[in-house]
């Protein structure tokens, strides 16, 4: 008798003509009810797909990541159908699931605004009530082109497909070019909400037509949807763009240019504290800091391979006679040039260069977003030149730095994504043997460190594989922060050599390493992680001194001098506001401590301390308060803290 293999290793008999839904029903009615799609030999398929003898079979439910992906994909189709019904003549392009939901890019026949979203949602609910069966249809490329003869976007997609059958999914009068799989019917969709509208260029190219992108979210249940929307509201309140303005940290100006952030005094202090902390940790671990400027001869990037593989992200060249210069988009070629400026033997290795360098990347205007995607960015970059035998030890050292830094910033929940090359892609430097060695070296280093990781094809740098650290913030959102990359290719292209024990010249291995990535992006993450209420060691202003009346200003200045003399970052609020308003304003600025001083405090040489986030008040001597803050900073930064309240 024919049978399929279940995930627990057991075999389940099947009958001729059985489909995935029949097997799910045989396993159990409840599982059949919760099923969204199935897996046959690891591939997602519709529940209507036929099953065959010997296949590995697994039911995918709506509460699994893959099931949720399918649910969102099917909801995107329901939204597209609603658009076509409400705006006849609209042209569909692509509508994929994304983290948190889905979107669809559409050339709308008419005008759609955020005010129209409830109307579209209502039509989607009607489509759900119709409980339209969703089924797959295989057609030839010619038939698909005939279906979409009036849609140039779909025609372009069809013509990019390889020869063979093309799949179309239908639900009622609606059909869409799609690989699938999908839920069985529109009645199987869960809870959803349309969120906002944006513009998007076709295929992300600003030379192409601008389309209407409609974003939505979908969840298995109404309860999960409401929970997600609450998280979104919390995220909105933490938006670094809003808080950056409210807390006087940074600004943008069209006079300077899109994607170029300008940092106000408090923002610059925050940058300084962030960079100084990483510099301190790196120095402790044997890194030397260098500086390599902002402009680089274009020929260097031709040698390294960046000009061929990365030119789209570079600003155009600047000519000086026959020489072309580029604004520096990355540090590694410059650091390899530094390495080549001196002769090295195996005794010198490893050599660890670190730099807080401002880099320039020509991001598309539509992709710029606050501090998370900018054109002028500062990277906490480092490059380690070592022997192949030293890779594991240097990886462990870099890992220790990453753990120490992320832990201090209160990021403790993170995973590692092993980003590997896609052998079929042409975006990577071609050198099979070196790629294999690099990937094996990185896998071995991760295994030796006992770190679980998820391999992902196609995410490597063009010159080598990398381990990306994906950390979750307090809202559970995941950010790619730290990275360690293994490079067997670039050092040889740039002529990096050292003399080995055998007296012969050898090419070093290069490890690329960033702890927090870029200062700008990491600052955005921190602002949202802490909702602007930075820990005391990181706060640009640690204490605001509020005089009760103007006659207490002189004493307030004295307190400021004494605390600043101990290394605290303090400021006196000498505005014309009343005392109560000063207290409220400084609380809105999320200052860790507000120190109120009046007659009583002046007579006692003390301050009235009001910690952030509490109504508690207490009076302390100036010196006692200074010791309190210093102890708090030392506890937060551990062994990295010096005698000052943040190393400044």
Burial class (CB in 10 A: 0-12, 13-18, 19+), 594: buried
Is there a contact between 199 and 213 (Cβ–Cβ < 8 Å)? yes
Chain position carrying tokens 């209502």: 122
E strand spans, 226-375: 250-251, 262-263, 288-289, 295-297, 318-320, 323-327, 351-360
Active site residue 344: no
CA atoms within 13 A on the CB side of 437: 14
The Cα–Cα gap between 282 and 408 comes to 14
Active site residue 379: yes
Is there a contact between 581 and 597 (Cβ–Cβ < 8 Å)? no
Active site residue 506: no
Can you say how many angstroms the Cα of residue 18 is from the centroid of all Cα atoms in its chain? 43
Q: Of the residues 240, 266, 361, 434, which is catalytic?
A: 361
Is there a contact between 135 and 169 (Cβ–Cβ < 8 Å)? yes
DSSP one-letter code for 551: G
Q: Which strand ranges, in their side-by-side order, compose the sheet holding 57-61?
A: 43-45, 35-40, 57-61
Tokens encoding 268: 């610059």
Q: Which helix (H) or strand (E) holds 475?
A: none
Tokens encoding 130: 């119709």
Burial class (CB in 10 A: 0-12, 13-18, 19+), 578: exposed
DSSP one-letter code for 277: H
Active site residue 512: yes
Q: Which of 72, 177, 85, 165 is nearest to 124 (CA)?
A: 85
Q: Of the residues 512, 590, 610, 637, which is catalytic?
A: 512
Q: Of the residues 18, 116, 176, 381, which is catalytic?
A: 381
Q: Of the residues 81, 379, 485, 589, which is catalytic?
A: 379
CA atoms within 13 A on the CB side of 604: 14
Chain position carrying tokens 């590694």: 332
Active site residue 552: no
Beta pairing partners, 224: none
Burial class (CB in 10 A: 0-12, 13-18, 19+), 646: buried
Helix 65-86 to helix 117-130 angle, to the nearest 10 degrees? 110
The Cα–Cα gap between 350 and 562 comes to 45
Active site residue 477: no
Helix 391-408 to helix 265-284 angle, to the nearest 10 degrees? 140
The Cα–Cα gap between 523 and 546 comes to 28
Q: Of the residues 178, 332, 386, 496, which is catalytic?
A: 332
Q: Are strands 466-472 and 414-420 parallel, antiparallel or unpaired?
A: antiparallel
Q: What is the 3-state secondary structure (H, E, C) of 353-399?
A: EEEEEEEECCCCHHHCECCCECCEEEEEEEEEEECHHHHHHHHHHHH
Active site residue 178: no
Q: Which of 158, 182, 159 is nearest to 171 (CA)?
A: 182
Q: Of the residues 62, 188, 466, 529, which is catalytic?
A: 466
Q: Which residues are catalytic?
A: 332, 361, 379, 381, 383, 466, 512
């Amino acid at each position: 008798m024919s049978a399929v293999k279940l995930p627990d290793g057991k075999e389940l008999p099947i009958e001729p003509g059985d489909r995935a839904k029949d097997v799910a029903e045989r396993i159990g009615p409840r599982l059949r009810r919760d099923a969204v799609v199935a897996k046959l030999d690891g591939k997602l398929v519709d529940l209507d797909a036929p099953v065959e003898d010997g296949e590995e079979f697994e039911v995918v439910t709506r509460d699994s990541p893959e099931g949720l992906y399918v649910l969102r994909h099917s909801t995107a189709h329901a939204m597209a159908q609603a658009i076509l019904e409400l705006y006849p003549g609209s042209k569909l392009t692509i509508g994929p699931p994304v983290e948190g939901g889905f979107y669809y890019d559409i050339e709308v026949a008419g005008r759609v605004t955020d005010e129209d979203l409830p109307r579209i949602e209502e039509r989607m609910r009607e489509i759900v009530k119709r409980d339209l069966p969703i089924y797959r249809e295989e057609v030839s490329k010619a038939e698909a082109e005939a279906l979409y003869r009036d849609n140039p976007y779909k025609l372009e997609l069809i013509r990019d497909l390889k020869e063979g059958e093309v799949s179309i999914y239908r639900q009622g009068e609606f059909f869409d070019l799609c690989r699938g799989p999908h839920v069985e019917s529109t009645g199987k969709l869960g809870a959803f909400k349309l969120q906002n509208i944006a513009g998007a260029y076709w295929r992300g190219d600003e030379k192409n037509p601008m389309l209407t992108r409609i974003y939505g979210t979908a969840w298995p249940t109404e309860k999960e949807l409401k929970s997600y929307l609450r998280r979104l509201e919390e995220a909105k309140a933490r938006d670094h763009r809003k808080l950056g303005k409210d807390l006087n940290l940074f600004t943008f100006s069209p006079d300077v240019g899109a994607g170029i952030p300008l940092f106000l005094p408090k923002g610059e202090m925050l940058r300084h504290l962030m960079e100084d902390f990483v510099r301190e940790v790196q120095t402790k671990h044997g890194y030397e800091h260098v500086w390599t400027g902002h402009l680089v001869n274009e020929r260097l990037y031709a040698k390294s391979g960046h000009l061929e593989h990365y030119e789209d992200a570079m600003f155009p060249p600047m000519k000086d006679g026959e020489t072309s210069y580029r604004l520096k988009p990355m540090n590694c070629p410059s650091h390899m040039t530094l390495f080549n400026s001196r002769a090295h033997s195996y005794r010198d290795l490893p050599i660890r260069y670190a730099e807080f360098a401002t880099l320039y990347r020509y991001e598309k205007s539509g992709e710029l977003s606050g501090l998370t995607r900018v054109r002028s960015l500062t990277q906490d970059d480092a490059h380690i030149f070592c022997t192949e035998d030293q890779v594991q030890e240097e990886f462990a050292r870099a890992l220790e730095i990453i753990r120490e830094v992320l832990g201090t910033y209160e990021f403790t929940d993170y995973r590692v994504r092993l980003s590997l090359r896609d052998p079929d892609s042409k975006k990577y430097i071609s050198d099979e043997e070196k790629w294999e060695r690099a990937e094996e070296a990185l896998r071995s280093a991760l295994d030796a460190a006992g770190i679980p990781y998820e391999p992902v094809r196609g995410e490597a740098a063009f010159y080598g594989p990398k381990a990306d650290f994906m950390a979750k913030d307090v809202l559970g959102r995941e950010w790619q922060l730290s990275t360690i990359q293994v490079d067997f290719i670039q050092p040889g292209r740039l002529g990096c050599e050292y003399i080995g024990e055998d007296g012969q010249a050898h090419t070093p291995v290069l490890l690329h390493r960033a702890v927090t990535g870029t200062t700008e992006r990491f600052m955005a993450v921190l602002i949202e992680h802490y909702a602007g209420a930075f820990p005391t060691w990181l706060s640009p202003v640690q204490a605001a001194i509020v005089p009760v009346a103007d006659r207490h200003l002189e004493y307030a200045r004295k307190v400021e001098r004494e605390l600043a003399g101990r290394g605290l970052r303090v400021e006196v609020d000498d505005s014309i506001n009343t005392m109560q308003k000063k207290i409220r304003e400084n609380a809105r600025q999320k200052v860790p401590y507000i120190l109120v001083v009046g007659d009583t405090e002046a007579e006692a040489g003390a301050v009235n301390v009001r910690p952030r986030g509490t109504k508690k008040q207490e009076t302390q001597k100036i010196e006692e308060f200074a010791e309190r803050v210093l102890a708090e900073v030392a506890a937060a930064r551990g062994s990295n803290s010096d005698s000052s309240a943040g190393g400044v």
